[in-house]
Amino acid sequence: MGNPFDERPRQIFQRLDQTANYPYSLGVYVRRFCWLWVQATLVCFSPLRAYWWRRFWLRCFGAGIHTAGATTPTTKVTHPWLLTIGEFSIIGAGSTIYNLGPVYIGDHTVLSQDVYVCAGTHDYTQPDLPLKRSSVRIGHGVWICAGAFIGPGVTIGDNSIVGARAVVTADVPPGVIVAGNPARVVKLRPMELRE
């Protein structure tokens, strides 16, 4: 039985031998190395309730994080200097902020455990797949449920909910609940205030 990969197509569009080996400046690589070391030691082994400690280190590396904003010891952030976290907002355990581009998280917003925010991709229309550093904006009063994926360039409107394991690849309007893969609006979010 022959190897199915022995026969090549006549033309391969995607050329990985032409991709940029080092798409960032030396300064960014040094900064990333220092942050990865801090995140893997001083942040990762901090007590769960030591929010002030993690805020301190994120701010040292340029994050804009409110004094009531929070992360957990197992939250992973790629570029803190491209992250903004609002008042009374939290990024849950095991969540990843893969922010090659800016990520903005509004006030009173929750990212539950294992959420993946992806603010970066590659331009698949070019043979050398150059990096695209898209931004992600998550509004105020948003709840991103466990295991959801938020794709590059997405805006989540204020007061919306993204269901567990949803895959969000397009903007979400304000005040709705989305779910599924791809995520679609399933209903309006009830927002009647009780006294």
Q: Annotated catalytic, 140?
A: no
CA distance 96 to 118: 8
Average pLDDT, the chain: 95
Q: Which of 18-22, 33-37, 62-66, 103-107 has the lowest mean pLDDT?
A: 18-22
CB burial readout 120-149, b (16+ within 10 A) else e: bbeeeeeeebeebebbbbbbbbbbbbbbbb
Domains identified in the chain and CATH numbers: 25-188 (2.160.10.10)
For residue 41, CA distances in Å to 37, 38, 44, 66, 131 come to: 6, 5, 5, 23, 29
Query: Does pLDDT of 1 surpass 60?
Result: no
Farthest-apart Cα atoms in the chain, separation: 73
Give the per-residue pLDDT at 7: 74
- Token representation of residue 177: 């609940």
Of the candidate ranges 7-16, 98-107, 177-186, the one whose mean pLDDT is the lowest = 7-16
Instruction: Enter the pTM of the model.
Output: 0.92
Of 66, 108, 122, 140, catalytic = 122
